[in-house]
Structure 1
Amino acid sequence: MSEVAGTQESALSRTRRLWLRWFFVGLGLWMATLVVVLLTGNPNLIPTLVLLGSFLVPVTFVAWAFERRGTDELTSGLVFSTFVTGGVLGVLGASVLEAYLLHPSAWLFFGVGLIEEAVKLLALMVLTRHLRTRSLRDGMILGAAVGFGFAAFESAGYAFTALFTVDGLSITQLVQTELIRGVLAPVGHGLWTAVLGGILFAGTRQGRFAVTGRLILAYLGVSALHGLWDSMHSISLYLTLVLTEGERLRPSMQGWLIEPSAEQVRLFSVLEWVGLALISIVGTVWLVVQWRWSARASAGFRVRRRASPVVPNI
């Protein structure tokens, strides 16, 4: 009997580590593709390099979250559909709205945050409207799936754009873009939409989604984090100029060009990365607190079910 239990526990442990195997297999395929592209110069492999690098981290984190789902109604098919469909709908909707509603201004990035978080939330609501059971934890997982899908397709676009430079195709720029966005992906779109998804599901009333005050505040909060994240480059540049002697100019054939000092370059880099780190910490703490609260809520629900009396059939 103990051997059977040990075998079942070992199988469950292997299942729970599936996301880790996916990550290393995907990383190996991406590195192999990169090596072949560099050796052969075959441009037909560039789409493979873009897709593998853009989807590796988002898919891994969605798989990790799926293993910790709260109900059996949350199936792999549903998570996959929210990842792909939600991601595509989010990218398309955000692109259209940003093109028609936003104009260059100091608040441009906060407008982007408001639009993209609203579009991802609406995509989540549409794709999960038929779910009968909606737990806070499952809302966080499905929200993360939509957010990471958005991030994957967006990263693919950025990587593809980085490929083209004034000097021709640049594999170096493409790889740098994928590495940076891959490292930052866990604390971006997936995290923000996970927070919103949990609060959306927790506020369900009589099987219907409800726009509660808590959901509105959470939406404004994650949109603010999103806007600060996108504008951190500009904020760091402004602070650098304030804290130093300002811009230096040098003459050239094209006119006067800005030439930052070594001190300005170092200060700018520090300010930008520290700012991104602080935003990431705030979002991560918010997510962890909500996740732990969902675990306590799920435990309480299971206790109430075990404690409820069983009425025999007559």
Structure 2
Amino acid sequence: MKKSVKRIGSHFFSLVWTGVRRNYDNLDDNIAKHLGESEPNSPVEIHLSRMLSEVFKRHTRDEADRLFIVGTKSTTPSLLKVSSRPVTPWFFTRVFLVLAISFVMLVALLFVFKSNKVIPGIIFIGSLAVPFSLMMMFFEINVYQNISVRQTMVIFLVGGILSLIVTMTFYLILPIRTEVSIESALIVGVVEELAKCVVIILFINTYKANYIFNGVLIGAAIGAGFSVFESSGYVSEYGLVTIFTRSFQAIGTHAIWAAVIGGAVILGKVRKKPFTVRDFFTKPKFFIFFLVTVCLHTFWDWDIPNTGIGVSLLQEFIDIVIGWFLIFVMIDAGLREVKTLQGQQIIIHRSKQKKIVNKR
């Protein structure tokens, strides 16, 4: 029995990993044949391990400013000029640092000077710090640079609130119980991920987004908005201490899950066409990622009977690891999409071996 379960699990993760890396049914093969300034045999290397290599380096103000001058007709690069190098976001850590310092200063005002007037600020900054920083990371990762800061903020605010409205609408329809059972956790997971998915699809179709990195950014912005407003709301129910836990737990929750769904929507839809209701039920490359996010959400919310804080922390750790694994899958798929559209060659590094896949 154990061998059978292990075999099924191994097959599942193999399907997730290879399915995204090998299948490009949603790409127009004719584009790959006609694009690309480099030689057709010029190799492209993908090293996801370099992702954080720029974080601890010094960067100028001009470098930071250039990150935000994107998304307009005059600043959106053509597909030929889209960066094909491994993504190396760094500015998001500066955003987090500023928000974290602000949070600490507000907490100091509360406990040192006994100023209750700073409580709203603590709630807002505490809820904002991690989700907003993650959104900025995905903004940097969007190598197509075709979504502006203004559009991102609209998605963050409007999309985040709209996803909460859709969630509450679903809650009126479905029977939600307050008990901490696996059934209730599953219903919450389905409702909230489906609500975010509906809003993500709405924005992807409205913006006519066609690239994986676009979907990931749109999803992350909506998930970040959802996370900020939800965490702020929990304070009124469970007290101010809630913000000290939920603020940093956000590293592996709504923003990450929604980013995965956003990338999956792009993987599932027909290129240059909107995502349809039929795509939702008939595209395995979308549906499998959606189901995984529902499972992750369910596992996060489920209080396993007769267990303590140690098991709960282990659940969260497992959730975060799997969630970020899926993010790296999406980043890998997004980089390969660029190579495919540019008609370049991809080299996969596996320990001491190099497997070459020619895109012809």
User: What amino acid is the match of 1:227?
Assistant: T
Q: 1:138 aligns with which of 214, 220, 238?
A: 214
Q: How many angstroms apart in 2 are the aligned matches of 1:286 and 1:203?
A: 16
Unaligned runs of 5+ in 1: 1-8, 164-173, 241-267, 305-314
Backbone CA RMSD of aligned residues: 2.2
Residue 299 of structure 2 corresponds to 228
Q: TM-score, normalised by structure 2?
A: 0.65
CA distance in 2, matches of 1:99, 1:230: 20
Larger Rg: 1
State how 1:195-210 maps to structure 2 within 5 Å. Answer: 195-205=260-270, 206-210=272-276
3-state SS of paired residue (2:158): helix
Count of residue pairs the alignment pairs up: 254
Identity %: 22
Contact 1:136-1:198 within 8 A present in 2 as well = yes
The 5 Å alignment of 1:48-67 reads: 48-67=121-140
Q: Distance in 1 between matches of 2:176 and 2:221?
A: 30
Q: 2:161 aligns with which of 75, 82, 88?
A: 88
Q: Which amino acid aligns with 1:156?
A: S
**Aligned twin of 1:219:** 290
User: Within 5 A, what are the aligned runs for 1:1-150?
Assistant: 11-12=62-63, 15=67, 17-104=90-177, 106=181, 107-150=183-226
Of the three residues 283, 286, 299, the one matched with 2:326 is 286
1:148-190 CA deviation, whole Å, 9 max, x = no partner? 1111111111123333xxxxxxxxxx2x422321221121111
Matched with 1:190 is: 255
Q: In the alignment, is residue 275 of structure 1 matched against residue 315 of structure 2? A: yes
Q: Which moved more, 1:95-104 or 1:277-286?
A: 95-104
Out of 232, 237, 260, the position equivalent to 1:156 is: 232
Task: Judge conservation of contact 1:136–1:294 (CA < 8 Å) in 2.
Answer: yes
Q: State the alpha-carbon separation in 2 of the partners of residues 38 and 25 from structure 1.
A: 20
Residue number among 291, 294, 298 corresponding to 2:338 in the alignment: 298
Q: Per-residue deviation at 1:103?
A: 3.4
- How far is the alpha carbon of 1:95 from its aligned partner? 2.4
In structure 1, C-alpha distance between the alignment counterparts of 2:301 and 2:111, rounded to whole Å: 32
The answer (yes or no) to whether the contact 1:94–1:119 under 8 Å persists in 2 is yes
Shift of 1:19: 2.1
Mapped contact 1:98–1:115 kept (Cα < 8 A): yes
Q: Of the two structures, which has the highest relative contact order with CA contacts closer than 8 Å and spacing of 6 or more? A: 2
Over residues 46-70 of structure 1, what are the superposed CA-to-partner deviations in whole Å (9 max), with x where a residue is unaligned? 1111101111111111111101113
Report the AA paired with residue 292 of structure 1. Answer: D
Residue-by-residue CA offset, 1:206-262 (whole Å, 9 max, x unaligned) = 42114223322322221111111100x2x1x33x4xxxxxxxxxxxxxxxxxxxxxx
Task: Give the conservation status (yes or no) of the 8 Å contact 1:114–1:223.
Answer: yes
C-alpha separation in 1, matches of 2:113 and 2:173: 43
Q: Is the Cα–Cα contact under 8 Å of residues 134 and 202 in structure 1 kept in the other structure?
A: no
The answer as to whether partners of 2:203 and 2:218 remain within 8 angstroms in 1 is no
Equivalent pair of 2:106/2:118 in contact (CA under 8 Å): yes
- Letter of the 2:215 partner, please give it: G
Letter matched to residue 93 of structure 1: V
Q: In structure 2, what residue type is equivalent to 1:223?
A: V
SS in 2 for 1:128: helix
* Distance (whole Å) between structure 2 residues aligned to residue 283 and residue 24 of structure 1: 23
Closer/same/farther in 2, CA of residues 66 and 223 from structure 1, 3 Å limit? same
Please state which structure has a larger fraction of its residues in helix: 1
Contact 2:264 2:290 in 1 (8 A): no
Give the secondary structure class of the aligned counterpart of 2:163: helix
CA contact (8 A) 2:267 2:285 kept: no
| Cα distance in 2 between the residues matched to 1:129 and 1:22 | 29
Distance in 2 (CA, whole Å) between partners of 1:58 and 1:95 is 21
Range 191-200 or range 95-104, more displaced:
95-104
Partner amino acid, structure 2, of 1:111: I
Deviation at 1:13, TM superposition (A): 6.7
